[in-house]
Amino acid sequence: MNPVNYVYLAALLFTIGAAGVLIRRNAIVVFMCVELMLNACNLAFVTFARMHGGLDGQIVAFFTMVVAAAEVVVGLAIIVSVFRTRHSASVDDANLMKL
Amino acid sequence: MNSLLGLLIAAPLLGAAVLLLGGRFVDRVAPVLGSALAGLSFVLGAILFSNLLGKPASGRAIDSDLFTWMHVGTFKADAAFHLDQLSMTFVLLITGVGTLIHIYSIGYMAHDEKRRKFFGYLNLFLAAMLILVLADNYLLLYVGWEGVGLASYLLIGFWQHKPSAATAAKKAFLVNRVGDIGLAVAVFLMFTTFGTFTFQGILHPSVVSSAGQGKATALGLVLLLAACGKSAQVPLQSWLGDAMEGPTPVSALIHAATMVTAGVYLITRSSAIFNAAPTAQLAVVCVGAVTLLFGAIVGCAKDDIKKALAGSTMSQIGYMILAAGLGPIGYVFAIMHLVTHGFFKAGLFLGAGSIMHAREDEVDMRKYGGLWKKMPWTFATFGLGYLAIIGFPGLSGFFSKDKIIEAAFAKGGTEGWILGGAALLGAAITAYYMSRIMVMTFFGKPRYTTKAEGGTSPEAHESPAVMVAPMVVLAVGSVFAGGFFSLGSRFLHWLEPVTGHSEGHSPVSTGVLTAATIVLMLLGMGLAWFQYGMREVPAAAPRSIWPVRLARRDLGQDDFNHAVFVRGGTRFADGLAEFDAKGVDGAVRGVAGAVGGGSSRLRKLQNGYVRSYAFSMFGGAVLIVAATLFMRAV
Amino acid sequence: MSFPLLTVTAAVPAAGAVITGALPAARRGAAKATAMGFALATLVLAAVVTGRFRPGGAQYQLTESHSWIPAFGVRYQLGVDGIAVVLVLLTAVLLPVVMLASWHDADLPAEGPKDKRRPAGAFFGLMLAIEAMVIIAFEATDVFLFYIFFEAMLIPMYFLIGGFGQKYEGRRAAVGDSADESSVRRSRAAVKFLLYNLLGGLVMLAAVVALYVNAHSFSVPALQNAHLSTTAERLIFLGFMFAFAVKAPLWPLHTWLPGAMGESTAGTAVLITAVVDKVGTFAMLRFCLQLFPGASAWATPVVLVLAVISILYGAILAVVQKDIKRLIAYASISHFGFIILGIFALNSRGQSGATLYMVNHGISTAALMLIAGFLISRRGSALIADFGGVQKVAPILAGTFLVAGLATLSLPGLAPFTSEFLVLLGAFEHTPAIGVAAVVGIVFAALYVLVLYQRTMTGPVKDGVTALKDLKVREIAVVAPLMALLLFLGVYPQPVLNVVNPSVGHTMSALHKQDPKPTHPVAEAINGGSR
């Protein structure tokens, strides 16, 4: 099978994720969309590694997984604590960081 | 002898330093110390004079080079003094009259708590005036020039608690500063043209003519500007009347006898320049003629005795400037009139001071009258000064003024007729306003009620001997100086080596001129007697026709200055201040505001919503990718 | 290796600044005494520098040179010429005087609750820091070294302006001006000062970098022989000149000065105008004229016109000021116009005169400003309208104020006259019209000084003035040396000129200029004459 198809799939997944981040309000869904984008990247990395016959892409994919896992831990903790104080998981309800 | 020259100046300078810095310790000795040092410098002057007389006429000069003041490259200014016949004449006049007025002030200022400062300032004035006349270069002359201006400022404003005195002092200094521009520019011009500004270097016909007539004319005109400021000549005359706010001895010394004649000194000293510049000379005689009439007319209308005398001073200095502008036919007579004027005008002012002393500083002549009985000494000395100034035959003014009128006619042509006519007319007006002063003050019935009679005025009394004595000495000078100087033309022979002299030929014979002068003088006296002697003098000035009202307001000089310079200047300065705040600083603040405004607008992008941040990130990423692709493609 | 005299001269006040600042806040007396001790020690060192300097010797003397940042050819390189020597000495003389005058300025809070005492150590430490930086800026013969301290002196100055306002002994006069408002205005003025000067410094930094790129050196003696292309020279000159014109200040870059001087203490105001601003005019002489002679000659007409505008503009605006300190600030703008006029007259009269002017202006403005400070702190107001008749109640104060004022209007016999005359003569030699226009400034100078004196000192005694006390012994000790200097340098300025003249000669040869000759020299005219 032509490995380029995997690249198309990665692009598709990335687009879905990006659209989800921009459109959805629920913090959990936004968060999952971010994960989706990360995984799309991973897929692309692995595909390119295969195409170029090198190991670099696969190593970066592992790095990304570690980062994603760390992000899940911190991110979910923040979302839960925001939900506890504000009783809402909508990203549009929090704008404390404006100047 | 050279060191005596330095000592001559050092004596009053030391007096000024001791009296002004000494504090209360020298309070008691101040009047005596100040007068003694003035006297000392007169004695030194007399010694130098006898030394000069012992020398042959062509070599009568003493030089004294003290130290190098400023030296930069080829520019070298020395503190050096040069005594010749011209400066000797001034030294004797300044220290002589100065000493007399110091002595007079012992009595006049006896009750003033600040007399230590007064004598300190007077000594400062003497020192500065001596520097002015003894300097051997124009820059050092400038030092004395501004120095006397400072002394004049301090003394006019001596009673600083009076706002009018403070204002008058400021005005005098400012108007003088306008004149000083002229002297400063003259020094610049001399240095760039000749590479020096010493009298020895420049004042030589061949030197001046080498620069061409244009330069000489320019130099003459800027020197004339300086002379106008210091000598209260039109158009810089307005400060002299106000300067009468100062104590009367000051008016006598500074604003009558010595400082205001510095302009005449400057022009006479620079004779080599003016001789080479006929245009500048024409300007000088015009200024002189206009001022002599201007001052005389103002003098006719004033009720304040000091201001009337101030008008007269302006007018008499106008005569001197006129004579100095005539060239070699006039220089000697300008200086001769200057010296005799020093005697009689100082005497007149001291007389006025004596009256004010007796009448608690009342200056309005309408509240005088019949004082001759109460103050016989004052009356006698004032009367002699009066006869001298109107040119009564045989007295000082007769000799000196007549010569000027003659010289004016001798100028020749239409010019001569106009100038001579102006001088003759001035003589008639002089007789009129001086007789008016004399009659209003001393004759008629007293126009005041003393306290004994239930009024407010004190009883008039004669002044103490310490004040009368100087007046007597000056009166003697007013009577005899002119005759003494003219006897065998000795003043002429004395000054001729410095100023040069040529006889003019008057189109009118001397006898006719003298007769005309005397007739005009009698006419002026008669008119004054008719107006003020035969009738009652009203207590308040009557409403008069417009020329008289105009003359009372100094012919509108202050109104003009106020409208143009004061009000216009204030408006301009306020406008400039607004421009500075709104324009210059506004531009700066505008830039700051634009940056600040831009930032606060940009700040609105930071709205705190995660999704909008994400959107801008997404947009940025798309842009970068697009740009990369585009660059690749190109 | 010889003794590093110049480094020590700058290091002593620097050390003094650190020690004074580090003293515990409670030990106020100790802080003042320490600061004064260091300032006096600096004065002694500056006197030694002056004594060791040989006029007519090498251009830069007492030199020190060490490699500092070799990658960019930056050296720690010091050396003084005659101009720097007199300015170092001026700075060292003024500092103890200013400190003595400001002795109690940091004592009590100017505004606000009494328990918030202002740290005396910081106040005097900042002054010493400024002294150290100014001295090293005068001494530096490496452009980069100079630049660093040219910029760094802004920091202590900012804190002095912003942190310490005028202290009033008496009750503040009710002038509709609360303590908070004045504090706000003060910090605004400090920020304005900082921003203006930082902008100038930034432009200069660009020029400094461009200079290195073009000439590959920062050393002044080496740069004098470097050849720059005309365009590069002009652009770099403009960058330097802009920074110096802000500092000096030259019209129209002057608007920070009245605010900064008006809102700070009298002592700080003296430091601004008499010490720090002098670095700007000094730098014009050393860097603009010597490193970029061609560009200087090219820019001369514009600079001269701006200088004349400064002279007249500053003087006219001084006349209409309502605040004594702002009046003196505008007068200083006028005087800086004279200094710049002399520098860019490009002849020896102008430059010697300008250097002498820097010294004389430092002394006369210090005298005028410090006495004004005494006056203002007594009355509790700086508004001219709040005064009147002071000479009646405080004659010594009024008398010394008048002398300082007369020096400001350049009365002959007092120091500023000699320098003003030389500057005007230099300008007249360059272009007569410029000289004549500038001479008109002396009338306005007389106007603002005499108007100030008349309104504050003469006339009837005003209400709030009746209890005004005359000068105290400490204050007389401040004024007396300044008066003595004004008189001495007015009568005998030659000692200063002797030191300055040879250095001006070096500048003239760097400019490839000679003094204009008289058009009709006397010697030729009386050749074989009778006299």
Given a contact cutoff of 8 angstroms between Cβ atoms, the answer to whether C174 and C383 are in contact is: no
The pLDDT of residue C118 is 65
CATH topology classification for A4-87: Helix Hairpins (1.10.287)
Domain locations along chain B: 154-542, 562-633
Would the pLDDT of B45 be above 90?
Answer: yes
B178 touches chain C (CB under 8 A): yes
Interface test with B, best of C522, C526, C527, C531 (most B CBs within 10 A): C522
Would the pLDDT of C419 be above 90?
Answer: yes
The pLDDT of residue C526 is 54
Mean pLDDT of A71-93: 87
Which range (B186-190, B471-475, B546-550) has the least confidence? B546-550
Q: Which of B437-451, C35-49, C115-129 has the highest mean pLDDT?
A: C35-49
- Minimal CA separation from A84 to chain B, in Å: 19
Q: With bands split at pLDDT 50, 70 and 90, how would you rate the model's confidence at C263?
A: confident
Q: Do B210 and C429 touch (CB under 8 A)?
A: no
Selected residue with higher pLDDT from C520 and B178: B178
Interatomic CA distance for residues B432 and B294, integer angstroms: 14
Mean pLDDT of B484-502: 85
The C residues from 351 to 390 touching B (CB cutoff 8 Å) are 352-353, 389
Gap between the terminal Cα atoms of chain B: 99
Q: What would the pLDDT profile of B100-128 be if each residue is shown by its tens digit? A: 999 999 988 888 888 899 999 999 999 99
Which range (B144-153, C81-90, C160-169, C173-182) has the least confidence? C173-182
The C residues from 420 to 439 touching B (CB cutoff 8 Å) are 421-422, 424-425, 428-429, 432, 435-436, 439
The pLDDT of residue C531 is 37
Q: Do C524 and B67 touch (CB under 8 A)?
A: no
- Minimal CA separation from B604 to chain A, in Å: 8
The A residues from 18 to 77 touching B (CB cutoff 8 Å) are 18, 21-22, 25, 30
Q: With bands split at pLDDT 50, 70 and 90, how would you rate the model's confidence at A98?
A: low
Would the pLDDT of B135 be above 70?
Answer: yes
A78 touches chain B (CB under 8 A): no
Q: With bands split at pLDDT 50, 70 and 90, how would you rate the model's confidence at A99?
A: low
Interatomic CA distance for residues C348 and C194, integer angstroms: 34
Mean pLDDT, chain B, whole residue set: 88
Residue type, C472: K
What percentage of residues in chain C have a pLDDT greater than 90? Answer: 51
Q: Do C520 and B187 touch (CB under 8 A)?
A: no
Q: With bands split at pLDDT 50, 70 and 90, how would you rate the model's confidence at C176?
A: very low
Helix (H) or strand (E) run with residue B81 in it: strand B75-83
Chains A & B: contacts with CB separation below 8 Å: 29
B592 touches chain C (CB under 8 A): yes
- Minimal CA separation from B627 to chain A, in Å: 19
The C residues from 310 to 329 touching B (CB cutoff 8 Å) are 313, 316-317, 319-321
Selected residue with higher pLDDT from B421 and C105: B421
Mean pLDDT of B274-299: 91
Q: What would the pLDDT profile of C327-357 be if each residue is shown by its tens digit? A: 999 999 999 999 999 999 989 999 999 999 9
The pLDDT of residue C180 is 67
Q: Do C412 and B147 touch (CB under 8 A)?
A: yes
Q: With bands split at pLDDT 50, 70 and 90, how would you rate the model's confidence at C165?
A: confident
Q: Which of B430-444, C112-126, C174-188 has the highest mean pLDDT?
A: B430-444
The pLDDT of residue C174 is 45
The pLDDT of residue B149 is 93
Given a contact cutoff of 8 angstroms between Cβ atoms, the answer to whether B277 and B213 are in contact is: yes
The pLDDT of residue C525 is 56
Angle, in degrees to the nearest 10, between helices C82-101 and C28-52 = 160
Mean pLDDT of C244-253: 89
Q: Residue B255: which of B354, B368, B172, B361 has the closest Cα?
A: B172
With beta carbons under 8 A apart, name residues in chain C contacting B187. Answer: 425
Cβ neighbours of residue B602 closer than 8 Å, sequence gap 6 or more: none
The pLDDT of residue C168 is 63
Which range (B237-251, B316-330, C213-227, C261-275) has the least confidence? C213-227
Q: Residue B275: which of B206, B183, B182 has the closest Cα?
A: B206
Would the pLDDT of C108 be above 70?
Answer: no
Q: Do A98 and B606 touch (CB under 8 A)?
A: yes
Given a contact cutoff of 8 angstroms between Cβ atoms, the answer to whether C356 and C497 are in contact is: yes
With beta carbons under 8 A apart, name residues in chain B contacting A22. Answer: 611, 614-615, 618
Would the pLDDT of B139 be above 70?
Answer: yes
Q: Do B195 and C518 touch (CB under 8 A)?
A: yes
With beta carbons under 8 A apart, name residues in chain B contacting C520. Answer: 193-194, 207, 210-212, 215
Given a contact cutoff of 8 angstroms between Cβ atoms, the answer to whether C145 and C138 are in contact is: no
Q: Do A96 and B603 touch (CB under 8 A)?
A: no
Q: Do B608 and A95 touch (CB under 8 A)?
A: yes
Tokens describing residue B44: 């030194």
Dihedrals phi, psi of B81, to nearest 5 degrees: -120, 150
Mean pLDDT of B52-75: 86
**DSSP helix/strand/coil, B62:** strand
Would the pLDDT of B532 be above 60?
Answer: yes
Would the pLDDT of C530 be above 70?
Answer: no
The pLDDT of residue B222 is 94
The pLDDT of residue B542 is 73
User: Is C531 among the domain residues?
Assistant: no
Q: Do chains C and A touch (3 or more CB pairs under 8 A)?
A: no
Taking phi over 0 as left and psi of -120 to 50 as alpha, with beta for the rest, B394 belongs to left
DSSP state of B68: E
Mean pLDDT of C103-126: 68
Would the pLDDT of C112 be above 60?
Answer: no
* Three-state secondary structure readout of C218-260: CEHHHHHCCCCCHHHHHHHHHHHHHHHHHHCCCCCCCCHHHHH
Mean pLDDT, chain A, whole residue set: 89
Interatomic CA distance for residues A76 and A72, integer angstroms: 6
Taking phi over 0 as left and psi of -120 to 50 as alpha, with beta for the rest, C224 belongs to alpha
Mean pLDDT of B613-625: 90
Query: Residue C252: is the preceding peptide bond cis (ω within 30°)?
Result: yes
Angle, in degrees to the nearest 10, between helices C395-408 and C415-430 = 20
- Minimal CA separation from C74 to chain B, in Å: 35
Q: Do B611 and A21 touch (CB under 8 A)?
A: yes
Would the pLDDT of C115 be above 50?
Answer: no
Interface test with B, best of A14, A15, A21, A79 (most B CBs within 10 A): A21
- Please enumerate residues of B whose Cβ is less than 8 A from a Cβ of A: 603, 606-611, 614-615, 618
Mean pLDDT of C250-262: 88
Interatomic CA distance for residues B391 and B292, integer angstroms: 15
Q: Do A22 and B608 touch (CB under 8 A)?
A: no
- Residue ranges making up the domain that contains C158: 5-526
Helix (H) or strand (E) run with residue C62 in it: strand C61-69
With beta carbons under 8 A apart, name residues in chain B contacting A92. Answer: 609, 611
DSSP state of B536: P
The pLDDT of residue C444 is 92
Would the pLDDT of C114 be above 60?
Answer: no
| Cβ-based burial of C76 (10 A; exposed 0-12, middle 13-18, buried ≥19) | middle
Helix (H) or strand (E) run with residue B410 in it: helix B396-410
Q: Residue C45: which of C102, C107, C3, C100 has the closest Cα?
A: C3
The pLDDT of residue C173 is 47
Q: Do A95 and B606 touch (CB under 8 A)?
A: no
The pLDDT of residue C139 is 92
Domain count of the fold of chain C: 1
Would the pLDDT of C283 be above 60?
Answer: yes
- Minimal CA separation from B614 to chain A, in Å: 7
The C residues from 188 to 227 touching B (CB cutoff 8 Å) are 195-196
Dihedrals phi, psi of A26, to nearest 5 degrees: -65, 130
The pLDDT of residue A97 is 66
Would the pLDDT of A24 be above 70?
Answer: yes
Nearest to B174 among C443, C518, C529 (CB): C443
The B residues from 251 to 270 touching C (CB cutoff 8 Å) are none
